[in-house]
Amino acid sequence: MALEVMILKVHEAARLLGVTPRTLRFYEEKGLIHPGKLLENNYRSYSEHDLTRLRWIISLRELGISLSSIHEALTSINEPEAFIRTVESARAHLYEQWITASKALQSLDGTISEWRRSRFPELDQIEHAAEEMKRNRLVRASWSDQWNYDGLALQHGFDTPLVSLGGLLSEEQYNDALINTVEWLDPGMGELGLELAPGSGNLSVLLVKAGAKLTAVEQSAEMLAILRGRLPAVEAKLGNMLALPLAAQSYSFIACTFAMHHLNPDQQLMALEEMDRVLLPGGRLAVTGIMKLHDEDVDVLKSAFFKDKISPTTWHPSLASSLINWLEGKGYSTMLASLTPVTALLYASKP
């Protein structure tokens, strides 16, 4: 005896799924679902497969995932790793939107407070707030992976972070920088720590070995795959340093090695702002990388070490004095240690 196949009309499917028929038609218009047609009257018909697909669509949409991301995810529904990566990327974008909205609310609240104090809504005040939000949005949007770290990860694996430095450091100098970072941070057993741009996890291994309970945020999905395979206990998240997909005041320490030079000066300060947002009061951070103290030192660094090696438009050595001024303006205590002629370690303690 043949098994009965469930076929529902649009109103029946909508009622079963708890949505309106218009919602189902909208998803069809957007190319997310392709229901069949009944032969006798050409009405839409929904199979069990269609209903399962719609359950995915409705659930992902309810969680704030965009229709374009849902469409991309569903094309890889039978490839678990690709599907998860797509949803993870959508989550990172959603968190970026949340951070932007939160900052807009803070700015708007401040403007309204000023208006109430003066008892008059000044246009200049809200224009200033809007201009600041626009600038932040453009800085955040200007970031992109110009170095193809997914491709580098597939080609070089664990060695990618050192290879990406283009011969500026020897392997010994690179490893010493990682060891120095751990020593300065001195993680406690079970202490909640965050590593930014961990790459293949070379520093992560040392932090976990020191006892830290580590979260890592990395923009390259292929790098994350290496890190997860190497350290399954690390909570590894897809995201970038300008919009960390993390809750505020969550971590006792933050480590970032050889990543800030991929951000321009404005983006580096925005990255510090994000670190400050997620770092607990009394927490500490260590930024290790290509860094000099003064503007003229950075110019010398570019001339001496980057010529014929790395495009000056894609590398931005950190200006230590700029980072220190920002941190100290927030009340941090800072210390700077020179590691090599081209690298330094900036340590800061949050009040």
Domain ranges of the chain: 8-62, 88-141, 149-349
Task: Name 217's bridge partners.
Answer: 196, 237
Evaluated on CA atoms 184, 189, 191, 196, the torsion sign reads positive
Q: Please say if the pLDDT value at position 306 is more than 60.
A: no
Q: Please say if the pLDDT value at position 321 is more than 80.
A: yes
For residues 88 and 62, what is the distance between their CA atoms, to the nearest angstrom?
15
For residues 341 and 301, what is the distance between their CA atoms, to the nearest angstrom?
9
pLDDT band at residue 95 under the 50/70/90 scheme: confident
Q: What pLDDT does residue 295 have?
A: 63
Q: What pLDDT, in 10s, does the model give residues 254-275? A: 999 999 999 999 999 999 999 9
Q: What pLDDT does residue 280 have?
A: 98
Tell me how long the chain is.
351
110-114, 281-285, 334-338: lowest mean pLDDT where?
110-114
Q: Rounded to whole angstroms, what are the CA distances from 177 to 163, 199, 245, 257? A: 15, 15, 27, 8
pLDDT band at residue 39 under the 50/70/90 scheme: low
For residues 118 and 110, what is the distance between their CA atoms, to the nearest angstrom?
13
Tokens standing for residue 178: 């990682």
Q: Please say if the pLDDT value at position 310 is more than 60.
A: no
Task: Name 287's bridge partners.
Answer: 256, 346
Q: What pLDDT does residue 2 have?
A: 39
Q: Please say if the pLDDT value at position 87 is more than 60.
A: yes
* CA nearest to 207, candidates 186, 227, 235, 228: 186
Report the interhelical angle of 202-209 vs 171-185 (nearest 10°).
Answer: 40
Q: Please say if the pLDDT value at position 293 is more than 80.
A: no
Query: Quick one: the chain helix, strand, coil %, rounded to 5?
Result: 55, 20, 30
Q: Which residue has the tokens 């670190």?
A: 275
For residues 160 and 296, what is the distance between their CA atoms, to the nearest angstrom?
30
Q: What pLDDT, in 10s, does the model give residues 191-223? A: 999 999 999 999 999 999 999 999 999 999 999
For residues 45 and 221, what is the distance between their CA atoms, to the nearest angstrom?
38
Angle (nearest 5°) at CA 212 between 211 and 213: 120
Q: What pLDDT does residue 40 have?
A: 66
Q: Which residue has the tokens 């909570």?
A: 235
Radius of gyration of the chain (CA): 25
Q: What pLDDT does residue 302 have?
A: 58
For residues 10 and 40, what is the distance between their CA atoms, to the nearest angstrom?
15
CATH number of 8-62: 1.10.1660.10
Angle (nearest 5°) at CA 11 between 5 and 15: 85
Architecture of domain 149-349: 3-Layer(aba) Sandwich (3.40)
**C-alpha distance across the termini of the chain, in Å:** 74
* CA nearest to 107, candidates 132, 82, 86: 132
Q: What pLDDT does residue 37 have?
A: 83
Query: For residue 180, which amino acid is it?
Result: N
pLDDT band at residue 136 under the 50/70/90 scheme: confident
pLDDT band at residue 305 under the 50/70/90 scheme: low
Q: What pLDDT does residue 1 have?
A: 34
pLDDT band at residue 4 under the 50/70/90 scheme: very low
Phi, psi of 45 (to 5 degrees): -135, 140
Q: What pLDDT does residue 300 have?
A: 60
Q: Please say if the pLDDT value at position 53 is more than 50.
A: yes
Q: Rounded to whole angstroms, what are the CA distances from 293 to 288, 332, 340? A: 13, 18, 13
Q: What pLDDT, in 10s, does the model give residues 167-188? A: 889 999 999 999 999 999 999 9
**For the chain, percent of residues with pLDDT exceeding 70:** 92
Q: What pLDDT, in 10s, does the model give residues 149-165? A: 989 889 998 899 988 88
Buried b (16+ CB within 10 A) or exposed e, 23-40: bbeebeeeebbebeeeee
Q: What pLDDT does residue 226 have?
A: 95
The pTM for the full model equals 0.84
Q: What pLDDT does residue 3 have?
A: 39
Mean pLDDT, residues 311-315 taken together: 63
| DSSP assignment letter at 197 | S
- The mean pLDDT of the chain is 89
**Other beta carbons less than 10 A from residue 189's beta carbon:** 8
In this structure, what is the dihedral angle of CA atoms 209, 215, 220, 221, given to the nearest 10 degrees?
100
